Chains A and B, each alone.
Chain A
Amino acid sequence: MTKSTKTPKLSRRGFIKAGAAAAGAAAGSGAITGFPTIWAQEIKDIELRHVGVSYSVVKAIGDQAAKDLGFKVTMQNLDTSASINRFITQPNTVDICDLEGWQAKLAAKRGVIQGIEAKRIKQFDNFLPIFTKGELDGSQIANQGISPYAALYLEKKDSTELHDGVADWLTNVPQVYNADSIGYRPDLVDHPVTEWKDLIDPKYKGKAAILDVPAIGIMDAALCMESAGLIDYGDKGNMTREEIDKTIDILIDLKKSGHFRATWTTFDQSVQLMAAGEVIIQSMWSPAVAAVRTKEIPCIYAPVNKKNGKEGYRGWCNGMGLMNHLEGKKLDAAYEYINWYLEGWQGAFVSRYGYYSPVPSTAKNYMSDTEWAYWYEGKPAPEAISDPYGVPMEPAGTVRDGGSFVERVTNISCWNTLMDEAAYMNKRWNDFKVA
């Protein structure tokens, strides 16, 4: 495995200790003399529970954080809906909650999280402006659905409503994000796929699959309908009842005609459907496409760049929120933990999955030039590429599907969300399921 070839100038341990001491001092605990030792003694007993979905809350990252920071970190995985339910109904069993934008909105509303002070996030100024200002390289990032920027700010530490525009407090600190599209078998689909409408093309009857998580499955479906010119949406991220009805009715017709071989809910199911030859085209996540390819089955992640106001990726972003009950040393430790995430080790780790770091400038320090060229710059890999655990993934010369980071991210056209009509949409989605 091409481990990070560059060592950071300051040793991690020293860096963190200095940071911890500074944070401790900031907390105003008085005794300055010999503080770092006392701190080191006391943090040993601290345990942070970081809870969220498996692709964002990763044990290997937690282990590394615990090693670098000197306190205990426990990673717990739940699926998206179980996570938000736990944050809301049992907030005291969680310390760091992993939130998508829409979950951050809900968690703030329910008062289970506390505002994060932007000033205490050391890399905050190095964050990509996608998150802090809603733009990248001068182009506005899509605001259909709930974008990470829209769900980032709170006016005060204990505000329960999101703040429109920049403020001093954050609902969460973004840590990993990506742009989802379609995966397909280039050997069985006769042309390069660049538009969502191919997913509902009758040519692929019985060989297509769609994501069965209602909240985001409906957005993938909407991208297809919009692409095929069947429906015009006001906002795909917040549909009206009529838009939901039209979308579901078309899905039901497709299902009745035998278009969908299956639907999938988990990462593994999508890999298995494609690898076992059950489907040749389906909505899919980037690392799942990579996982199919490691089985030596050709699979391409479709670059669905925006054109004529259609197409585009569905973006998602997970960030870390601080639960309301955190205080004192534990709160300081949580800030240290968040700061650690942004120092680059974790950014490099998730990048090797095909996801992105919100602070690529630090992730770069932990990536080899080869990895940087492949994952971020969209250039042919100068050497072979391995996954985060060192398993070879791509031979030298491969170019990442969808191109460079900037190309992909600026082509996001909607973000994961929770619609106002979510309850109604869920019922209609089940109509599709039983049809």
Chain B
Amino acid sequence: MKLNRNAVGWLNVSPLLAVMVPFFIVPIIVVFIASIMQTDGFGGMFWDPSLENYSYIFKSDLTYRLYFETVKFAVLTLVFSAFIGFWVAHFLVFHVRSKLLAMGLFLVCTVPFWTSNIIRMISWIPLLGKEGLINRALIAMGAIQEPLEFLLYSDFAVVVAYVHQLTIFMIVPIFNSMARIDKRVVEAAVDAGASKFDIMRYIIVPMSKSGIALGAIFVVSIVMGDFFVVKVMSGGGTASVVGAFYEDIGVLQYPSAAASAIILTILVMLMVAAILRIVDIRKEITQ
């Protein structure tokens, strides 16, 4: 029996559809419907479709401040994790000669991630606190008189925790794309008299772009959708987009929380689209 081309195509995408439709499309539709309904203030929802929930969100200064904070954390985390991730991957690919050792070291990078996110985040607290290890050491050395308060319950602490949690999402794809760079290309460039900087600029960075882009997608979407790290590490000193609508749900304001969720989803999709626009991952990977 021979299937026609169309049927083969549908069969090919069916596993993806089987996942996307029930776990993404349907929930998004449900959330969207909730977002245009109205609430009675006691958890009850009734059908009186309007975009009022959306216009309320767009009219509120709070929305913009929350997005500013959350995007700020996403960008800072992206910059630091990309920088660290790039150099770790570079070291593993170009400086470790034995493939086996490189693989071994690569696996070592994943060891901290065998513990839970929460434990890894919380373990920063005794280190960064007013009476934490760093402050005590600095005071004992006489470098400072008063403990540095910005270390914990601050934006700094939030970024530290995010970078710690998410750098692995940079290392893996960058390592993967760098490992596929043909070493002979680098050798040829050296022979032709290229400087180290040129090699980096014209060969390694362009050829690792797809890895950086993939890592960026992970980092951005995770930070945008998180509220727990911000809550704990900032000591409640700042808020996040998701944290705010989680609190809406706490007082049973489902429609406005749903509207916020839809807006966030659209925004994250736009950010991912922008990343893909800058780097054509499909083209890079199939090369």
Contact = CB atoms under 8 A, between A and B. Distances in A.
B252 A106 contact: yes
Interface string B121-136: 0000110011110000
Contact of B44 (A84, A110, A420, A429): A110
A277 B152 CA distance: 13
Contact of B126 (A269, A276, A427): A276
A278 B237 CA distance: 14
Interface stretch (B10-18, B60-68, B90-98, B188-196): B60-68
A264 interface: yes
Interface in A54-98: 80-81, 84-85, 88
A398 interface: no
Given A265-B236, A433-B239, A423 B129 contact: no
Nearest to B235: A262
B117 interface: no
A232 interface: no
Contacts of A206: 149
B237 A427 contact: no
A249 interface: no
B112 interface: no
Interface string B34-71: 00000001111000000000000000101001100100
A399 interface: no
Contacts of A420: 41
A214 B231 CA distance: 13
A215 interface: yes
A260 B131 CA distance: 17
A423 B43 CA distance: 12
Nearest to A264: B236
B244 A430 contact: yes
Identify which of B43, B44, B126 gathers the most chain A CB atoms within 10 Å of its CB. Answer: B43
Contacts of B65: 431, 434
Contacts of B104: none
A85 B252 contact: yes
Interface string A211-231: 010110000000000000000
Contacts of A433: 236-239, 243
A43 to B, nearest CB: 33
B200 interface: no
Contact of A85 (B42, B131, B237, B249): B249
Chain A, interface SS category:
helix
A155 B3 CA distance: 68
A277 B60 CA distance: 37
B144 to A, nearest CB: 16
B42 A110 contact: yes
A330 interface: no
Contacts of A212: 231, 236
Nearest to B153: A262
A329 interface: no
Contacts of B66: 430, 434
B229 to A, nearest CB: 13
Contacts of A214: 247, 250-251
- Give the contact-size bracket for chain B: 35 or more
Nearest to A418: B251
Given A80-B250, A426-B251, A276 B130 contact: yes
B236 A272 contact: no
B42 A431 contact: no
Given A262-B237, A434-B62, A434-B238, A277 B251 contact: no
B130 A278 contact: yes
- Give the contact-size bracket for chain A: 35 or more
Nearest to B43: A88
Given A88-B252, A106-B42, A427 B60 contact: yes
Identify which of A262, A264, A265, A272 gathers the most chain B CB atoms within 10 Å of its CB. Answer: A262
A109 B253 CA distance: 15
Interface in B234-268: 235-239, 243-244, 246-253, 256
B153 to A, nearest CB: 5
A293 interface: no
A201 to B, nearest CB: 19
B251 A422 contact: yes
Given A261-B235, A278-B130, A430-B66, A215 B251 contact: yes
A265 B42 contact: no
A240 interface: no
Interface string B18-40: 00000000000000000000000
Nearest to B126: A276
Contacts of B239: 430, 433-434
A426 B62 CA distance: 11
A431 B62 contact: yes
Nearest to B39: A423
Contacts of B238: 433-434
Contacts of A4: none
Contacts of A110: 42-44
A144 interface: no
A264 B42 CA distance: 26
A219 to B, nearest CB: 14
Contacts of A106: 42-43, 252
A278 B42 contact: no
Nearest to A108: B42
A106 B125 CA distance: 38
Contact of B130 (A80, A85, A277): A277
A159 interface: no
Contact of A276 (B41, B69, B131, B243): B131
A160 to B, nearest CB: 10
Nearest to B149: A206
B248 A278 contact: no
A426 B43 CA distance: 15
A262 B236 contact: yes
A160 B41 CA distance: 15
A276 to B, nearest CB: 5
Q: Which 6 A-B pairs have the closest CB atoms?
A: A262-B235, A263-B236, A81-B250, A433-B239, A212-B236, A422-B251
Given A212-B231, A262-B236, 7 more contacts: A84-B252, A85-B249, A106-B252, A263-B236, A263-B237, A278-B153, A433-B236
